[in-house]
């Protein structure tokens, strides 16, 4: 065997050989990036709660055990599909404050101030997580609010063992240097937590107890709101008590599409994730991907070209539907998808510059996703974030939770008109009460009216492409859910015009073939991890739930009941 062939075989096998069997359970599964949070969700299932009850409990538990992205000071998106077919997309994205403006991060010359939208108190948007969880529970839950907060309260009061990765991450957080309260809570003023130590958070526990006793509006109208507003005033932030009182989560109609006989539900605007996923699948459905082979250059070329076109449209059209008209139906119409697909040259890469102009999309990769399925077949797919890892780095004094820096996900300044005649970024500029565009893609699939799988991922702009590839792995390549989330991934987002790929993700001959077609590839050492998916599939014959936590997730766990 030649050394090159041996390398290729090794590279191809690396993604699959280590994948264990999925977690199997008959009565429900919770899959998250934090083992204690997964266990908290399962605890609610064991108490008789449904998937929505467990999801709300999981979200609050992650706010305790996974502070890099789990939160009550941020926001996100949830897809709910009940066993009877009812479905909803719950948008609890953060909003710009009433005092925000389109020029707030520009200098005297009208140019963006570097890093201003993501640092300091002015980077904070109005948090939506508590309102989103409350809306989900009100519409679809079965247990009282105080009951689903109980596991998180216990984790905050009694504490949980610090993992190796959490200890390392807390020690390395330089953004806490500017905020004494964050240094005190998360770094013990320099006496850093070591692996195995118990991390207790009494201020956060007190906040959760107030909310449990007084209801979710306590966060927006009670003592917690007063503490948050005081933190804003002290640091020159803009989020006020009036902003908190008027915040609303929104139940929207999911973005719907089909792929090879499966129905998919995902997020509509203000998230672009559902559009990106369904548009790319619409292009790819025209090709026999399984016959091309999982790791073939022909398949990767088609993936890259579909990603390139979808992200170009995202840059042109997407914004908060409360402020701009997002032509989602037209963008997902069969005629438009067919027209976009027809522009793909099977032999050559399309230069991104020919598909649009403007600034590349910027989103933090530090998000987290969890998936939940219960015994009855109710399902939740939830992705939420503080934006950057640990958000703004600001902890609300006396309340124990971190605040987001989501204002960096607005366009600080619109660019020149692109080839679609739309000023790049104009739809996503800052305005009071506006929600910034996101790529979050919580997704639920069914077939013949029955739940098939639940999936989602963190990763900023890599999220839709991660969900896309997991979906293809499940449907086209017939992988197990664990294999599907562990398999190597690629990423292209129109601008910059480069393809990212993971270490050991592609054989050398495939890389060479893609380069020959004109693709620009980023070497593995520069690319890093792409996504961190958590999913659940249903065995169509037995009904057994099959759970998977991505091998890229150091503390992740799929827990079954």
- Domains of the chain plus CATH, in order, are 1-94+250-394+405-561 (3.60.20.40)
Quote the distance between the C-alpha of residue 351 and its chain's center.
Answer: 28
More confident residue, 427 or 545: 545
Lowest mean pLDDT among 19-28, 110-119, 267-276: 110-119
Please name which of 67, 27, 69 lies closest in space to residue 366, comparing C-alpha atoms.
69
CB-CB contact of 201 with 156 (8 Å):
yes
Asked whether residue 424 carries a pLDDT value surpassing 50, the answer given is no
The pLDDT of 68-90, averaged and rounded, is 98
Q: What percent of the chain clears pLDDT 70, i.e. is strictly above it?
A: 93
Q: What angle do CA 317, 404, 371 make, to 5 degrees?
A: 75
Give the three-state DSSP class for 60.
Answer: helix
Residue with tokens 């200890």: 167
Query: What are the helix (H) ranges across 119-176?
Result: 129-140, 145-158, 164-171
Asked whether residue 57 carries a pLDDT value surpassing 80, the answer given is yes
Asked whether residue 12 carries a pLDDT value surpassing 80, the answer given is no
What size, in residues, is the chain? 561
The pLDDT of 99-123, averaged and rounded, is 94
Asked whether residue 274 carries a pLDDT value surpassing 50, the answer given is yes
Asked whether residue 132 carries a pLDDT value surpassing 70, the answer given is yes
**Residue 172 neighbours by CB under 8 Å, 6+ apart:** none
Question: Residue 413 has what pLDDT?
Answer: 81
The pLDDT of 266-274, averaged and rounded, is 97
Asked whether residue 14 carries a pLDDT value surpassing 80, the answer given is no
CB-CB contact of 89 with 382 (8 Å):
no
Asked whether residue 421 carries a pLDDT value surpassing 60, the answer given is no
User: Phi-psi category of 351—alpha, beta or left, where left has phi over 0 and alpha has psi -120 to 50?
Assistant: beta
The pLDDT of 295-313, averaged and rounded, is 97
Catalytic center residues:
367
User: Phi-psi category of 304—alpha, beta or left, where left has phi over 0 and alpha has psi -120 to 50?
Assistant: alpha
The two tokens of residue 181 are: 């309260």
CA separation for the pair 559, 338 (Å, rounded)? 41
More confident residue, 458 or 361: 458
Asked whether residue 5 carries a pLDDT value surpassing 70, the answer given is no
Question: Residue 427 has what pLDDT?
Answer: 86
Average pLDDT, the chain: 93
Position 512 confidence tier, pLDDT thresholds 50, 70, 90:
very high
Question: Residue 504 has what pLDDT?
Answer: 82
CB-CB contact of 381 with 553 (8 Å):
no
- Residue 247 exposed, middle or buried by CB count within 10 Å (0-12, 13-18, 19+): buried
The two tokens of residue 76 are: 């996100």
**Residue 384 neighbours by CB under 8 Å, 6+ apart:** 59, 69, 70, 71, 74, 75, 76, 77, 92, 129, 132, 367, 368, 440
Lowest mean pLDDT among 23-37, 113-127, 412-426, 459-473: 412-426
Position 414 confidence tier, pLDDT thresholds 50, 70, 90:
confident
Asked whether residue 229 carries a pLDDT value surpassing 90, the answer given is yes
Question: Residue 420 has what pLDDT?
Answer: 33
């Amino acid at each position: 065997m030649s050394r090159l062939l041996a390398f290729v075989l090794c590279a191809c096998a690396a993604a699959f050989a280590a994948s264990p069997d999925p977690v199997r359970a008959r009565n429900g599964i919770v899959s998250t990036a934090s083992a204690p949070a997964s266990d908290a969700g399962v605890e609610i299932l064991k108490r008789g709660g449904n998937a929505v009850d467990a999801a709300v409990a999981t979200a609050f538990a992650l706010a305790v055990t996974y502070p890099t992205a789990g939160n009550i000071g941020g926001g996100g998106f949830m897809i709910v599909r009940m066993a009877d077919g009812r479905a909803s997309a719950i948008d609890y994205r953060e909003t710009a404050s009433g005092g925000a403006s389109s020029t707030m991060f520009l200098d005297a010359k009208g140019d963006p101030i570097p890093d201003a939208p993501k640092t300091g108190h002015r980077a904070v948007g109005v948090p939506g997580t508590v309102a989103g969880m409350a809306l989900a529970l009100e519409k679809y839950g079965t247990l009282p609010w105080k009951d689903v907060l109980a596991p998180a309260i216990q984790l905050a009061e009694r504490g949980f063992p610090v993992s190796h990765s959490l200890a390392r991450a807390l020690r390395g957080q330089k953004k806490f240097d500017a905020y004494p309260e964050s240094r005190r809570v998360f770094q013990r003023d320099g006496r850093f937590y070591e692996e195995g130590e118990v991390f207790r958070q009494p201020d956060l526990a007190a906040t959760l107890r107030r909310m449990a006793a007084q209801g979710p509006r306590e966060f927006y109208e009670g003592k917690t709101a007063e503490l948050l507003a005081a933190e804003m005033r002290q640091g020159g932030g803009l989020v006020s008590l009036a902003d908190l009182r008027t915040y609303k989560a929104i139940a929207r109609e999911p973005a719907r599409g089909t792929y090879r006989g499966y129905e998919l539900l995902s997020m509509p605007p203000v998230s672009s994730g559902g559009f990106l996923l369904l548009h790319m699948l619409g292009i790819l459905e025209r090709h026999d991907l399984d016959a091309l082979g999982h790791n073939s250059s022909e398949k990767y070329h088609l993936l890259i070209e579909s990603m390139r076109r979808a992200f170009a449209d995202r840059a042109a059209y997407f914004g908060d539907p409360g402020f701009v008209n997002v032509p989602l139906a037209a963008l997902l119409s069969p005629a438009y998808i067919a027209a976009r697909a027809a522009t793909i040259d099977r032999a050559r890469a399309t230069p991104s510059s020919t598909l649009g102009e403007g600034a590349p999309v910027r989103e933090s990769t530090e998000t987290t996703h969890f998936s939940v399925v219960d015994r009855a077949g109710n399902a939740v797919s939830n992705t939420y974030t503080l934006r950057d890892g640990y958000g703004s780095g600001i902890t609300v004094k006396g309340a124990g939770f971190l605040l987001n820096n989501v204002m960096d996900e607005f366009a600080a300044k619109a660019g020149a008109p692109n080839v679609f005649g739309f000023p790049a970024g104009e739809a996503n500029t800052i305005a009071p009460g506006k929600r910034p565009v996101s790529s979050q893609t919580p997704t639920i699939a069914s077939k013949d009216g029955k739940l098939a799988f639940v999936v989602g991922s963190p990763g900023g702009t890599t999220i839709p492409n991660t969900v896309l590839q997991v979906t293809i792995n499940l449907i086209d390549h017939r992988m197990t859910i664990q294999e599907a989330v562990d398999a190597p991934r690629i990423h292209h987002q129109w601008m910059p015009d480069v393809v990212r790929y993971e270490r050991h993700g592609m054989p050398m001959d495939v890389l060479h073939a893609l380069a020959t077609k004109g693709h620009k590839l980023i070497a593995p050492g520069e690319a890093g991890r792409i996504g961190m998916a958590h999913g659940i599939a249903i065995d169509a014959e037995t009904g057994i739930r099959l759970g998977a936590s991505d091998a890229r997730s150091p503390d992740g766990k799929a827990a079954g009941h």
